[in-house]
Amino acid sequence: MLQPNFAVYLGKEKEGGFFGFIAERNLFLIIEVEDGINAEQGREIVQKIKDEAAAFSIDNLASFDQFISQIVTKYNFPSSFSLVASYYNEKILYLKTVGQGMIFLHRGSDFAQIIEKDNSASGYLENRDFFILTTKRLIDVLGSDIELKTIFDHKSPDEIVADLTPSLKEKDDQGAIALLIRFNEEETRQVETIDMKEQQKVNPLDQIKNTGKTFFGMFKAYSQRSGKRKVFTVVAIVVIFFVLIWSVVLGYQRRNQAEANKIIKSTKELVNLKLDQAEEVAFLNLPRSLALISEAKEEVGKLKKQLGKQKEKEVEELEQLIKEKEGKIVKKEEKKYEEFYNLTLDRKDAKGNKFYLEKDNLSIIDKGKGTIYILSLSKKSLDKKNASEIKKASLVSTYQDYVLFYIEGEGIYKTSADGKTKKAIENDKDWESISDIWIYNGNVYLLDSGKGDIYKYLVAENGYSAKSSYLKDEAGSIKGANSLAIDSSVYIGLDDRIIKYTAGARDEFSTSWPENNVKLTKIFTSADVEKVYGWDKSNGAIYILGKNGTYEKQINSSILSKASDFVVFNNTAYILVGEKIYKIELE
């Protein structure tokens, strides 16, 4: 059965445009868009095409043409797009080109362009057929299609891409893409994997041991009823037999090692290629870079499954290589933490529950003792407010010389500089789930994650005004939000994204996260810091973003998985864990 082996070349992504590819099941496809579709939109379209292809029945050229036509119509590609696709059904290959698409075939000693522009074709596959799916852009970069003819020389797709990459990168390869596919009459790697595993189950030494026992029994019985000469003859035969067996065992081991080395070499080349491409596209297209890293991990996972316990050192080296490259690309740093302050210095059984930072004053709720500690981060001096109501408080906020704290079902209390505590804002029947509080210019902002709204209370002469919705027409759009931060703009943290509003209107804030499993626990920023910080407790990480959402780097530390809260002051993260406050230098 003919099986495909493929590799892809990706040039620099064009700003304002998109290129992408599919190589799954029986479908191979590349799309190139000069402008009109950005990278994020393009990736979404490619994923949808993958899903649709799995459900679409393709059994002749007409149905393949229909499938491609539906894609073009449904996604309304701009006029500047090119598409190249192939689909194989047993030994028949269907081909389609649109726009500037081109398909070349290398068969035996012949090389030719099959179709280009708006065209389709089909035909029978032969063993070692080599197809190149590309666009005119790549040919322009190469200089001519004659350059393609010279690159084969019995090389695999991976080897050809590796050979082409240095020369293409020296030129302006922006927007260049090619998918190289070779069909071979051979068993798939999966079958090889099963064979190798079955071979690993059979221990050659056990075979020799069992065979030796059998011969020893036969020899003993024979020697008891035979003369010495015949016994010596049998001994000689047995020795020769064991020498032959040992030779076979060594041959088996050599073949097994050679096969393992061959697979390791192939995987190394593919992994290095994907990592090099990931590094090249990281600056302009981080999601694509991360996808390539993920593909490299998948290749090592396959290798690990194939080899079992063989070549563990080589597999670990590949895993370490990917880890180092990933850390470099996503700017992931492992940081040490140190203890900054221990609340038991004030009270033996003190314990912090929640933070709030205003300027350099860090407020910490201790519900158990009915205390709010106010710690100066610059001076390391401690003040505190005590009130019986604090034992029920879940949120705290400070402004100038007074403290506000929220009690579920009761409302918001205010403790003044003179130590007196009174209710400042009555409990509101419309509140559903107040999850954060913030004071900005004396005005109070409450995040209701249940209703998906932010309530604003203006400071007034005798307290606070009636509430108004900060989100107005977008009220209800942030259900499930976990935190709030204000620096004049309002930032709302959700599980996997951050939303920004300025003067009540939605602002541009779009982030490409360095990992797929980001789960934000809390966000933090203020007018006194230049960045936006996202704390991910489950991954033990703090993501550092620019105030337009641009991802900058990731800080990891084991203490972040144990914390109950965090804030950032002077490029240092302060972490609350029970009675202790730790710090991590972020620069």
d(CA 9, CA 162): 9
Instruction: Note the pLDDT of residue 169.
Output: 81
Of the candidate ranges 4-18, 21-35, 201-215, 482-496, the one whose mean pLDDT is the lowest? 201-215
Instruction: Report the SS3 class of residue 328.
Output: helix
% of the chain with per-residue pLDDT over 70: 86
Q: Within 170-285, where are the H helices?
A: 189-201, 204-224, 228-281
pTM over 0.85: no
d(CA 210, CA 428): 83
Q: Is 2-186 assigned to CATH 3.40.50.1820?
A: no
DSSP assignment string, 281-297: HTTT-HHHHHHHHHHHH
Instruction: Report the SS3 class of residue 416.
Output: coil
Burial 193-220, CB ≥16 within 10 A → b, else e? beebeeeeeeebeeeeeeeeeebeeebe
Domains 2-186 and 347-526 share a fold: no
Sign of CA dihedral 355, 358, 359, 360: negative
Q: Which CATH superfamily is domain 347-526 in?
A: TolB, C-terminal domain (2.120.10.30)
Neighbours of 272 (CB within 10 A): 16
Partners of 490 in the β-ladder: 486, 501
Assigned token pair, 151: 């690159």
Distances in Å between the alpha carbon of 80 and those of 31, 35, 98, 455, 539? Answer: 11, 7, 11, 47, 42
Assigned token pair, 2: 């003919």
Partners of 342 in the β-ladder: 580
- Name the strand (E) or helix (H) holding 454: strand 453-457
Instruction: Note the pLDDT of residue 168.
Output: 83
Would you list the domain boundaries of the chain?
2-186, 189-329, 347-526
- For 108-163, list the strands marked E by DSSP: 110-116, 119-124, 130-135
Q: Is the pLDDT of residue 514 over 90?
A: no
Helical packing angle, 312-329 and 286-307, nearest 10°: 170
Of the candidate ranges 247-251, 268-272, 328-332, the one whose mean pLDDT is the lowest? 247-251
% of the chain with per-residue pLDDT over 90: 44
In a 13 Å sphere around the CA of 200, the CA atoms on its Cβ side amount to 16
Instruction: Note the pLDDT of residue 189.
Output: 40
pLDDT 10s digits, 390-446: 999 999 999 998 999 999 999 999 998 888 999 999 999 999 999 999 999 999 999
Instruction: Note the pLDDT of residue 217.
Output: 56
Neighbours of 98 (CB within 10 A): 20
Instruction: Note the pLDDT of residue 425.
Output: 96
Neighbours of 296 (CB within 10 A): 25
pLDDT 10s digits, 218-247: 555 555 555 555 555 656 665 665 655 555
